[in-house]
Amino acid sequence: MNVFASIGRAVLTVLAHIGRLALFTGQAVAGIVSPPIYTRLILAQMMRIGYYSLPVVGLTAFFTGGVLALQIYLGGNRFGAEAIVPQVVVLGITRELGPVIAGLMIAGRVSAAIAAEIGTMKVTEQIDALTTLATNPMKYLVVPRIVAAVISMPILTAIGDSIGVLGGYVVSVYSLDFTGYTYLKNTVDFAHREDITSGLIKAAVFGFIVALMGCYNGFNSKGGAQGVGNATTNAVVTSSILILAADYVLTALLFHR
Amino acid sequence: MTAKIQLIGVKKRFGSKVVLDGVDLTIEKQSSLVIIGGSGTGKSVTIKSILGILRPDEGTILVDGEDVTHIDGSARDRVMRKFGMLFQGGALFDSLPVWENVAFGLIQGHGVPRAKARDIAIQKLAKVGLTQDVAFLSPAELSGGMQKRVGLARAIAADPEIIFFDEPTTGLDPIMADIINDLIVSTVKDVGATALSITHDMISARKISDHIAMLYGGRIIWTGPTGEIDRTGNPYVDQFIHGKAEGPIKMAVKA
C-alpha cells in the first residue's frame, strides 16, 4: 500500500506543479496583452537581459564557431570533404548552435538573476507591498521581463550568429587553408533566409522560457535565503531543460514538411 | 452608517492546519483597531485576507459595504487605492531610491506625474521627520527605525482611507518604538484614516488604538474599547496583556 501511496503523492505533486505553471503562464500572457504597459521597465529589462549579455553571448558564439570549423575540417578530411566547412558552420550556427548556446547562456545568467531578485522580493514582502500600492505584481515584475527577453533574445542571437560565423572564418582562414573570399562567398551563397529566421524564432521562444521560469521560481520561493537559493537553482535547471526540449519540438515543427 | 471594514465568518486553512476558524470583526470608520494575539494565531493571515494577498476559504469581507472577497485584476487595484500598509520589515523596494518608494503608489496606482509625485514624497518624508537628503538615498543605507519611517511615509503617501500596520514596533528600541507610535497616532489623525494594526506589543497597542480585539484559536475572543482591556474578566485576555506563562493559553512549543 505504501508504494502506491508514495507513487500517488509524487504524481499529484507533479500535476500540481504543471497546473500552477500553466496558470502562471496564462496570467503572464494575459498581462502582456492588457494595459497598463510599463514601457520604461521593459526598456530597463532589455538593458539588463539583452545588452549586458552581449559579451558572454559573443564570446561563446565566437568559440563555438571556431571549434565547429575545426571539427568539420578534421572530420570532413576523412572523406575529402573539408571544403564544406563554411556551409556547415553557417548552417549549424544559424539553425541550431546560435540560438541554443545563447539560450543556455541567458538561462544561466538571466533566469538565475530574475529568480534571485523576485525570490528576495517575495520573502521580504516586497511583492505584497506592490499589491497594497495598487500595482499588479504580475504586470509590474513578470510582464516586462518576459517582453524584454522575447525581444532581446532574437537580437542577441542575430549578433551571436554573425560572431559565430566570424569565429569559423578566423579559424578557417588563419589556421586552415581557406581564403577569406571563398569562405565568405560560400557562406553567403549557401545560407537561406529560413535558416536564419528559424533560429531567430527559436531564440524568441527560448527568451520566453528563460524569463518565465525565472519569474515562476522566484514567485514560488519561500523560507528565506535557502528558499531563494533553491529557486535560483530550479530556474536555471528547468529553463535549460525546457530550452533543449523546446528546441527539438521547434525544429520538428519548423522543418518537418 | 456602514462599517469601513467588516469580516463575516472568515475561515482560512493551510493544508490541515486551520488558522482562521470563523473570524467576525467590524471596524468603524475613522476608528483605530488593534488586533492582539500570540505569534502564529493568524493576525497576519487576517490582514492579508482583507488585502486579497490571501484568499479566504469561507466567509465574506466587506470594504465600505462592498464584497471584496473574490475580486481580482482592475477591481482589486481600485479597492487597493483606498489602502496603505506599513509592513513589519518595511518591505521597501531596494532597487528604488527612498523618494521613489514613497511616491510609488502615487506614480503607479494613481497616475501622478513623477515630478509632482516626488514633491509629495518629500512632504510626506518631512511629516515622518526625515529630511530631503534622505529622499535620494537607497533604502539599504538606512537604519531600521528610518526604514520604518520611510515605510510609514509610503503608507500615507496617497492619503489612504484605510491604513494597516503590521507589527509597527517590532525590532525597534523602546524610544524609537515610542516615536513610531506617536507618528502613527498623528498621521492617522492627520489623514483622517481608519487604522487596523496587529501587534503583540501591549504598550504600542494601548497607545495607538481606540478599540482592541483579541485573536485566539482562529476566532476573535474579545473585542472592546481600549480603556476596558484591563477589566474584561476574560482569562485569556488577562494572561496575554500581563504576559504570564501560566494561564489558559498554552503556547505550542512544537509547531
Kindly report the nearest CA distance between residue A125 and chain B, in angstroms.
5
The structural domains of chain A, with segments of one domain joined by +, span 38-255
* Nearest-Cα residue of chain B relative to residue A117: B95
| Beta bridge partner(s), residue B23 | B10
CA-CA distance, B172 to B199, in Å (whole number)? Answer: 13
With a cut of 70, say whether residue B255 has pLDDT above it: no
On chain B, the residues whose CB falls within 8 A of the CB of A140 are 108
In the structure, what pLDDT confidence band is assigned to residue B217 with cuts at 50, 70 and 90?
confident
For residue B116, how many other CB atoms are within 10 A of its CB? Answer: 12
Query: What confidence score (pLDDT) does residue A1 get?
Result: 64
Mean pLDDT, residues A59-78: 90
Measured between CB atoms, does B154 come within 8 Å of chain A? yes
Is there a contact between B105 and A135 if contact means CB atoms under 8 Å apart?
A: yes
Kindly report the nearest CA distance between residue A131 and chain B, in angstroms.
7
In the structure, what pLDDT confidence band is assigned to residue A150 with cuts at 50, 70 and 90?
very high
Measured between CB atoms, does B108 come within 8 Å of chain A? yes
Is there a contact between A134 and B81 if contact means CB atoms under 8 Å apart?
A: yes
State percent of chain A over pLDDT 70.
99
Query: What confidence score (pLDDT) does residue A257 get?
Result: 61
CA-CA distance, B188 to A144, in Å (whole number)? Answer: 35
Mean pLDDT, residues A47-74: 91
Query: What confidence score (pLDDT) does residue A63 get?
Result: 94
Give the residue from A152, A131, A130 showing the smallest Cα distance to A211: A152
Of B53, B77, B93, the CB nearest to A136: B77
CATH code for the domain defined by B1-82+162-180+193-255: 3.40.50.300
Mean pLDDT, residues B81-95: 86
Q: For B113-138, what is each residue's pLDDT tens digit?
A: 888 888 888 888 888 888 888 888 88
Q: For A174-211, what is each residue's pLDDT tens digit?
A: 888 888 888 888 888 888 888 889 999 999 999 999 99
Is there a contact between A140 and B87 if contact means CB atoms under 8 Å apart?
A: no
Taking each helix axis as running N to C, give the angle between helix A180-190 and helix A143-174, from 0 to 180 degrees, rounded to the nearest 10.
Answer: 140
Q: Are A122 and A221 in contact (CB under 8 A)?
A: yes
Is there a contact between A133 and B91 if contact means CB atoms under 8 Å apart?
A: no
Is there a contact between B85 and A134 if contact means CB atoms under 8 Å apart?
A: no
B 225-244 residues with CB below 8 A of A?
A: none
Query: What confidence score (pLDDT) does residue B252 get?
Result: 57
Q: For B37-77, what is each residue's pLDDT tens digit?
A: 887 788 888 888 888 888 888 888 888 888 888 887 778 88
Measured between CB atoms, does B81 come within 8 Å of chain A? yes
Mean pLDDT, residues B184-199: 85
* Nearest-Cα residue of chain B relative to residue A30: B73
Most confident of A56-65, A127-136, B105-114, B223-232: A56-65
Measured between CB atoms, does B96 come within 8 Å of chain A? no
Mean pLDDT, residues A63-68: 92
Q: Are A238 and A215 in contact (CB under 8 A)?
A: no
Of B91, B105, B108, the CB nearest to A128: B91
On chain A, the residues whose CB falls within 8 A of the CB of B71 are none
Q: What is the mean pLDDT of chain A?
A: 89
State percent of chain B over pLDDT 70.
98
Query: What confidence score (pLDDT) does residue B254 get?
Result: 46
Whether ipTM tops 0.95, in short, is no
With a cut of 50, say whether residue A133 has pLDDT above it: yes
Q: For A207-222, what is each residue's pLDDT tens digit?
A: 999 999 999 999 988 8
On chain B, the residues whose CB falls within 8 A of the CB of A124 are 89, 91
Of A129, A135, A140, the CB nearest to B91: A129
Kindly report the nearest CA distance between residue A123 and chain B, in angstroms.
9
Mean pLDDT, residues A38-60: 91
With a cut of 70, say whether residue B245 has pLDDT above it: yes
pTM: 0.84
Best to test chain A binding among B46, B77, B107 (most A CBs inside 10 Å): B77
Query: What confidence score (pLDDT) does residue B233 get?
Result: 79
Residues A103-112, buried b or exposed e (16+ Cβ, 10 A)? bbbbbbbbbb
Q: For A70-97, what is each residue's pLDDT tens digit?
A: 998 888 888 888 888 888 888 899 988 9
Best to test chain A binding among B50, B95, B108, B147 (most A CBs inside 10 Å): B108
Given phi > 0 = left and psi -120 to 50 = alpha, else beta, which region is B3? beta
B 31-70 residues with CB below 8 A of A?
A: 48, 51-53
In the structure, what pLDDT confidence band is assigned to residue B251 with cuts at 50, 70 and 90?
low
Kindly report the nearest CA distance between residue B85 and chain A, in angstroms.
7
Q: Are A224 and B89 in contact (CB under 8 A)?
A: no
Q: What is the mean pLDDT of chain B?
A: 84
Q: For B137-162, what is each residue's pLDDT tens digit?
A: 888 888 888 888 888 888 888 888 88
Is there a contact between A128 and B77 if contact means CB atoms under 8 Å apart?
A: no
On chain A, the residues whose CB falls within 8 A of the CB of B139 are none
Is there a contact between A135 and B88 if contact means CB atoms under 8 Å apart?
A: no
Is there a contact between B92 and A126 if contact means CB atoms under 8 Å apart?
A: yes
CA-CA distance, B50 to A208, in Å (whole number)? Answer: 34
- Please report the number of interchain residue pairs, chain A to chain B, with beta-carbon separation below 8 angstroms: 55
With a cut of 60, say whether residue A60 has pLDDT above it: yes
Is there a contact between B83 and A126 if contact means CB atoms under 8 Å apart?
A: no
Is there a contact between A131 and B164 if contact means CB atoms under 8 Å apart?
A: no
Query: What confidence score (pLDDT) does residue A116 get?
Result: 92
Residues B210-225, buried b or exposed e (16+ Cβ, 10 A)? ebbbbbbebebbbbee
With a cut of 80, say whether residue A45 has pLDDT above it: yes
